[in-house]
Amino acid sequence: MPTYAYACKDCDHAFDIVQSFSDSSLTECPGCKGALRKKFNSVGVVFKGSGFYRTDSRDAKGSTVSAAPASPSSPAAPAAAPATAAAAS
């Protein structure tokens, strides 16, 4: 559940309270019974790194993205030479 910050407009009393998303906002100061206002803070999410793609934090074997196919103009790798009888003896 999120934590909300409130401040009283009359007595400057400030406090934080944990509330559900479905709870209504508080309107009365618990100290002086004055009007409250909800304070807004910066969001606690920080994006760091070279990019923000779904594969940035995954290893290669767990990725669902396939490797780029080889271009048709590149030469094929030579096949392995068959073993000869002379090399086996």
Query: What CA–CA distances, in Å, run from 78 to 35, 65, 82?
Result: 81, 27, 12
Q: What is the pTM of this model?
A: 0.45
pLDDT per residue of the chain (89 residues) written in tens, 0 to 9: 788 899 999 898 899 989 898 988 888 998 898 899 888 877 777 777 666 666 656 666 655 555 555 556 555 555 555 665 555 55
Q: Kindly give, in sequence order, each residue whose CB lies less than 8 Å from that of residue 13, ignoring residues fewer than 6 positions away.
A: 7, 29, 30, 31, 32
DSSP 31: T
| Inter-residue contact 13 to 7 (CB < 8 Å) | yes
| Inter-residue contact 31 to 11 (CB < 8 Å) | yes
